[in-house]
Amino acid sequence: MKRISRCLLRMVTILAWLACLGAFSAAASASPTTELLVKLSPQELEDGARALSARSIEGWTPVGVPGWLRVRVPEQQLERVRARLEHTPGVLAVHTDHPVRVALVPDDTYWPSQWALAKINAPDAWDLTTGRVEVVIAVLDTGMELSHPDLSGQVWVNPGETPGNGIDDDANGKVDDLHGWQFLEIGESSNVSDDYGHGTHVSGIIAAAGNNGTGVAGMAWGSRLMVVKVLDNEGNGRYSDVAAGLVYAADNGAQVINVSLGGDEDLPVLRDAVDYARARGALIVAAAGNYCRGQYVLFPAAYGNTIAVAASDRDDRLAYSSCRGPEVDLTAPGESVYSTCLGGGYCSSSGTSMAAPHVSGLAALIWSHHPEYAPGQVRHTMWVTAEALQEPYTGWGRIDAGRALSLELYVLHFPSITRGADP
């Protein structure tokens, strides 16, 4: 009987004190408050609740989970109240309540067709960031349709250039390179318009304007696209042009370089350009290639200091057309990917060319959320948060954007990782 009385008295004291705090909080409603969640032992809760009802004490509310109560506390008293409760007999736990939110689902017209972004949990990542304009992704491809309604506002603008004045204002050797540069056999120029369509589709996957009520959403629509045209109107180009494009992108501030192309040969000029861009702090994401004979990956994806990307399907299986091999770092959706097309339209396309830009977009999101990260930390974040697949040659697995953005990378060194050295 004495034990019950002591228990009852202690419980009345605890909850009456909480009620006083609640009343104080209501009286000072102009002051910021925080809700504490308090868990009581079953016996104390039962006895205390009866006593509170008998004494008409108010100001606390049950959470709806057995044993838990909620009380609002003035922020300036939060730590004092928490400390007192944590040292009170009969109180099993004290926590601050936290907000939750819905995962951002964009209102773009064709979002229901974008299975790939849903598969990699992009909406969960978008709750944290949709990208920052300071993060620039260079797209080495066939150019871009600059007038496309989902891309026109997504293009990088060279801050050192005055458009159309015929002068190399930033002294980088390129006249009027406002949005990028063209490296083709027919000659160099500032004309980066897409006359094939491949680059426009890739660009949309990375950063098509999102949540704008029309078209599609890109992975990192808050970031910007540097257009580096290295492929012609038939989708063909030269190693030397790709190499020059890599150097240009790195020199002009691209943090991520998407290379949805490849070749069979390991040429020193391409290797040197990759090394140069990496030394300048750029992260190079490259498509593994399509319909390779045997188990190998195209260059530059085969280099250890790039991120080689294979293509997966809706069921997380390696796409039939995807090249494969031990060089693969990550897998991303690459079948029937819906994105921007020439003529202001939208269409589906397949291949590792469509898989790589998902990874480039994710890298941009990570860098937007963690601008302090080094390239190696961005790369490792994508590696360790990937969803492991059952098939061989899928690298660390299929990327998971939501998981990658929620990771706080405290361990920055991975001794077991041997493919490519990262700063």
Domain boundary among 96, 124, 152: 96
Residue 230 has pLDDT above 50, yes or no: yes
Residue 335 belongs to domain with CATH number: 3.40.50.200
284 lies in the same domain as 367? yes
The answer to whether residue 223 is domain-embedded is yes
Q: Please name the residues in contact with 161: beta carbons below 8 A apart, sequence gap of 6 or more.
A: 169, 170, 176, 177, 178
What is the 8-class DSSP label of residue 56?
A: T
The answer to whether residue 105 is domain-embedded is no
Query: What's the CA gap between 261 and 141, in Å, rounded?
Result: 7
137 lies in the same domain as 83? no
Query: Structure tokens of 347?
Result: 């269409």
**Is 63 or 365 the better-scoring residue by pLDDT?**
365
Angle at 304 between CA 303 and CA 310, to 5 degrees: 75
The answer to whether residue 104 is domain-embedded is no
Residue 376 has pLDDT above 90, yes or no: yes
The answer to whether residue 417 is domain-embedded is no
Q: What pLDDT digit, counting tens, does each position of 62-87 carry?
A: 788 888 888 777 888 888 878 887 88
Query: What's the CA gap between 45 and 91, in Å, rounded?
Result: 9
Shortest CA distance to 357 belongs to which of 155, 219, 233, 197? 219
88 lies in the same domain as 118? no
340 lies in the same domain as 286? yes
The answer to whether residue 310 is domain-embedded is yes
Shortest CA distance to 357 belongs to which of 330, 375, 391, 389? 330
The answer to whether residue 55 is domain-embedded is yes
Residue 4 has pLDDT above 50, yes or no: no
249 lies in the same domain as 362? yes
pLDDT attached to residue 69 = 80
159 lies in the same domain as 298? yes
Q: Say which residue the tokens 């909406």 belong to.
A: 123
Residue 48 belongs to domain with CATH number: 3.30.70
235 lies in the same domain as 308? yes
130 lies in the same domain as 238? yes
Shortest CA distance to 307 belongs to which of 349, 266, 363? 363
Residue 330 has pLDDT above 50, yes or no: yes
61 lies in the same domain as 115? no
Q: State the average pLDDT over residues 255-275.
A: 97
Residue 53 has pLDDT above 50, yes or no: no
The answer to whether residue 411 is domain-embedded is no
Q: State the average pLDDT over residues 118-141.
A: 97
Active site residues: 141, 198, 353
Omega cis (within 30) before 106? no
What is the 8-class DSSP label of residue 22?
A: H
- Helix or strand run (H / E) with residue 309: strand 307-312
Least confidently predicted of 39-53, 62-76, 381-395: 39-53
Residue 58 has pLDDT above 90, yes or no: no
pLDDT attached to residue 43 = 65
Per the CB < 8 A criterion, the answer to whether 192 and 144 are in contact is: yes
pLDDT attached to residue 20 = 54
Query: What's the CA gap between 166 and 308, in Å, rounded?
Result: 39
Query: Structure tokens of 397?
Result: 């697995």
pLDDT attached to residue 314 = 97
pLDDT attached to residue 250 = 98
166 lies in the same domain as 255? yes
**Is 104 or 300 the better-scoring residue by pLDDT?**
300
Residue 411 has pLDDT above 50, yes or no: no
Residue type, 105: V
pLDDT attached to residue 31 = 60
Cα dihedral sign, 269-271-272-273: positive
86 lies in the same domain as 116? no
Query: Structure tokens of 123?
Result: 């909406």
pLDDT attached to residue 57 = 38
**Is 62 or 189 the better-scoring residue by pLDDT?**
189
CA–CA distance from 173 to each of 167, 181, 239, 394 (Å)? 10, 11, 20, 41
116 lies in the same domain as 88? no
Query: What's the CA gap between 356 and 259, in Å, rounded?
Result: 8
Q: Indicate the length of the chain as a whole number.
A: 423
Q: What's the structural domain count of the chain?
A: 2
Per the CB < 8 A criterion, the answer to whether 178 and 158 are in contact is: yes
Shortest CA distance to 205 belongs to which of 92, 332, 315? 332
Residue 306 has pLDDT above 70, yes or no: yes
**How, if at all, do strands 180-184 and 224-229 pair?**
parallel
Domain containing 202 equals 111-406
**Is 18 or 256 the better-scoring residue by pLDDT?**
256
The answer to whether residue 102 is domain-embedded is no
User: Phi/psi of residue 120, each to 5°?
Assistant: -95, 15
Q: How far is residue 29 CA from its own chain's centroid?
A: 38
Residue 379 has pLDDT above 90, yes or no: yes
Domain boundary among 45, 64, 96: 96
Angle at 281 between CA 359 and CA 129, to 5 degrees: 45
Q: Say which residue the tokens 């063909």 belong to.
A: 236
Domain boundary among 49, 72, 96: 96
